[in-house]
Amino acid sequence: MTQLDEIKSRLDIVDLVGETVKLRRAGKNYSGLCPFHNEKTPSFIVSPDRQTWHCFGQCSEGGDVFKFVMKKEGWDFKEALRYLAAKAGVTLEAYTPQQQEEKDAHERLRGLLEETAAFYRHQLLQTEAGKPALTYLLEKRKLTPQTIETFGLGYAPQGWDNALKHFTAKGFTEQEMIDTGLVSVREEKRDTGTPEHRKTFDRFRQRIMIPIRDEQGRMTGFGARILNPDDFPKFMNSPETPLFSKSRILYGLDRARKAIRLADQAVIVEGYLDVIAVHQAGFENVVSPMGTALTEEQLRLLKRFSRRIVLALDPDAAGQKAVLSGLEAARQSLDRETELRFDARGLLRHEARLQADLRVATMPDALDPDEIVQRDPAQWKSLIEKAQPIVVHVMETLAAGRDLEDAKVKSEIAAQVSPLIEDLPNPVERETYRQRLARFLKVDERALSGGQVPGPRTRRPRPRVRENIPAQEVAPPAAAPPVTASQKIEAHILGLLLLRPGLLFRLDRALQEAALARMAAEDFGYTDHQMIFRLVRQSLDQDAADADRYLAGAMPEALAPLAASLLAGVGKLDPVDDRLLEDLFRGVVKIRRAMLAESINQLRFLQEEAQQTGDLPSGDDMRAASYRAMVQQHSAFLLLLDQAQMKKNGRR
């Protein structure tokens, strides 16, 4: 992940713009008054999905977090980069060839993991040894063959070196298998006084195998469940590797992203098989951590898709108490890696910092999530809809089965809940929950205020001023930001142009022949992509050096890792392939279509909003009419694009 990716992963454009603009929800986006010109009705839209903004008013501009800061502060890209890096807690470092070598090595490791997933899948579906595992999944877990195929489930056969022999025979090294966590290493002494001998063996044996992918669908590792009930531990993950980090990954997010956006809600369950079963039942906005405490990094990743997050706890004793693990009474009992731990105090602080809405849903009748959806999918939906705020859940969990008429019980519950309430940064929320706790315990609210020991309050970070950006503690590496379809296409176009800059002239000519405008920086939605495209254009407009040499010398250090990554993405293509031009043409049409379609959706919302408010007493809303005209204009451009593509296809 490049430093630019790291910065983007840590900053949410809604939060950044929200420091300057008062935003309110507008469908799946946010709207507000444009900060760059005076206006009375909103024409400024922020898209959390694309992490971009656009003004449909006088400015008629848009971009990402970098473009927003550059326009707002009057800075160049380098100044904006330094500011946003400090804000995100990212240390800017010089790009080195070693980093590119490391990236290439990681791609080879991902290839090994993909082949391993296919190997385990074959063992499950095509071998005699895998039949018990397949029967367990089909009959015990009630998974369908389609679900098993969709999630790529497999089986690791019994034996110490099945995978080791298979993949070393295919040309992978033992060290590569260690680096992916597929094999383990043990140092042994053969005889007393002799040197230690290193023994390698398959990490996963006689287990159901669950491929784990990051939010972009790239392989990172495996989760493994026992088949023999006498084996231990019940669940096992890949170890920490260059590709796999438990604190940064949410299982199932690659498949849940779209559903989370559509539902504007993410649901977190405890286990991999819970995720799979709930997805199979039609509720696809469900993910799971890696069996450990939920981290703010994971929540920050989810927040890119929705700020509404529900924690669906298992019904066992540990699950019921798990949300209390931040309280001293429950912390020690939950100090085992195999249990999912929700820290109530930590979650409230995450909720405040992330400005999210975290709630808790508890499964009834001693049933796990997969059992609930198998028994009654409607009940699962109802349980999630009725999820409670964290403080309310803690109150009710502590009170379950206890005599609330007993003064000591009331005192114990108040002593544990009051510090949580005091942690809340919002004074209205604090007062509301104090009142609710007082009613719940049937005591005077003044008794709670007088007897509690206030805990430290979490403060919201204040917007930083440009004159003095405070030093920040360096944060741990962030998960790679989600990549949209438009970003992928933009990256592919730029990779081809960096590979063969001269294609830009032919692309411009092909576009003009189709009655379309030449390729421009504005066709790209992201500032770093725009800057690289401008350099490609400049490399062709100058005659002091050939284009490749000019690009190598003119590329800013901050963009060098991105440029190398873009080139690596198309590195296997034949640079003299005549189809590259057609590939570029299709790519330009796709990104223009995506941008126009997104703009039309945003304009229609603004149009409906203007019609509801009405600028003129007669109801003949001038602003609504303006938006309507823009929608018609954008629709005409869409038709032109489609006609150009069809004409291009007809010529082939």
Each residue of 37-50: pLDDT tens digit? 888 888 999 998 88
CB 641 within 8 A of CB 592: yes
Q: Which position has the higher pLDDT, 100 or 278?
A: 278
Q: Which position has the higher pLDDT, 148 or 631?
A: 148
Domain membership of residue 508 (yes or no) is yes
Domain membership of residue 285 (yes or no) is yes
CATH code at 574?
A: 1.10.860
Tens of pLDDT along 562-584? Answer: 888 888 888 666 655 667 888 89
Is it the case that residue 510 has pLDDT exceeding 60? yes
Same domain, 527 and 614: yes
Same domain, 506 and 542: yes
Q: Which of 202-206, 224-228, 336-340, 387-391 has the lowest mean pLDDT?
A: 336-340
* Angle, helix 344-354 to helix 296-303, in steps of 10 degrees: 40
Domain membership of residue 359 (yes or no) is yes
CATH code at 55?
A: 3.90.580.10
- At residue 455 the predicted structure's pLDDT band, cuts being 50, 70 and 90, is very low
The count of structural domains within the chain is 4
| pTM for this prediction | 0.63
Which pLDDT score, from 0 to 100, does residue 482 have? 56
Same domain, 492 and 577: yes
Same domain, 409 and 539: no
CB 29 within 8 A of CB 45: yes
Question: Between the ranges 8-22, 267-281, 310-324, where is the mean pLDDT highest?
Answer: 267-281
Bridge partner list, 310: 267, 359
Q: Which of 54, 88, 122 is the last residue of a domain?
A: 88
Is it the case that residue 466 has pLDDT exceeding 80? no
Average pLDDT over residues 530-542: 92
Same domain, 221 and 317: no
Rounded CA-CA distance 121/154 in Å is 4
Domain membership of residue 37 (yes or no) is yes
Helix (H) or strand (E) holding 207: strand 207-213
- Which domain does 645 fall in, by range? 485-651
Return the closest-CA partner of residue 158 out of 203, 120, 206. Answer: 206
Domain membership of residue 156 (yes or no) is yes
* Residue 289, CA distances (Å) to 90, 113, 246, 270, 306 in order: 24, 20, 7, 7, 17
Which pLDDT score, from 0 to 100, does residue 188 have? 65
CB proximity list for 503: less than 8 A, separation 6 or greater: 496, 497, 580, 581, 584
Same domain, 492 and 612: yes
Which pLDDT score, from 0 to 100, does residue 474 have? 41
Which pLDDT score, from 0 to 100, does residue 354 have? 74
Tens of pLDDT along 610-643? Answer: 776 654 444 435 777 888 888 888 888 888 888 8
Q: Which position has the higher pLDDT, 120 or 358?
A: 120
Return the closest-CA partner of residue 320 out of 366, 382, 378. Answer: 366
CB 540 within 8 A of CB 551: no
Cα dihedral 18→19→22→27 (10° resolution): 0
Q: Which position has the higher pLDDT, 6 or 319?
A: 6
Domain membership of residue 269 (yes or no) is yes
Which pLDDT score, from 0 to 100, does residue 262 have? 83
Q: Which of 408, 430, 451 is the last residue of a domain?
A: 451
Which pLDDT score, from 0 to 100, does residue 264 have? 86
Which pLDDT score, from 0 to 100, does residue 219 have? 94
Give the dihedral sign, CA 81/84/85/90.
Answer: negative
Total residues belonging to the chain:
652
Same domain, 285 and 400: yes
Q: Which position has the higher pLDDT, 219 or 480?
A: 219
- At residue 356 the predicted structure's pLDDT band, cuts being 50, 70 and 90, is confident
Question: DSSP for 116-138?
Answer: HHHHHHHHHHH-STTHHHHHIII
Q: Which position has the higher pLDDT, 265 or 4?
A: 265
Rounded CA-CA distance 594/587 in Å is 11
CB proximity list for 9: less than 8 A, separation 6 or greater: 1, 300, 301, 478, 479, 480, 481
Average pLDDT over residues 325-340: 40
Mean pLDDT of the chain: 82
Rounded CA-CA distance 29/602 in Å is 8
Which pLDDT score, from 0 to 100, does residue 175 have? 93
CA neighbours closer than 13 Å in the CB half-sphere of residue 290: 23
Average pLDDT over residues 245-250: 88
Which pairing describes strands 29-32 and 24-26: parallel, antiparallel, or unpaired?
antiparallel
Same domain, 131 and 212: yes
Tens of pLDDT along 51-73? Answer: 899 999 888 889 999 999 998 88
Is it the case that residue 559 has pLDDT exceeding 60? yes
CA neighbours closer than 13 Å in the CB half-sphere of residue 456: 5
Average pLDDT over residues 152-178: 95
Percent of the chain with pLDDT over 90: 37
Q: Is the peptide bond before 233 cis (omega within 30 degrees of 0)?
A: yes
Tens of pLDDT along 74-125? Answer: 888 888 998 999 888 888 876 666 766 777 778 899 999 999 999 999 999 9
- Per-residue burial over 636-645, b = 16 or more CB atoms within 10 Å of its CB, e = otherwise: ebbeebeebb
Which pLDDT score, from 0 to 100, does residue 292 have? 63
Which pLDDT score, from 0 to 100, does residue 327 have? 46
Domain membership of residue 409 (yes or no) is yes
CB 324 within 8 A of CB 341: no
- At residue 333 the predicted structure's pLDDT band, cuts being 50, 70 and 90, is very low
Helix (H) or strand (E) holding 210: strand 207-213
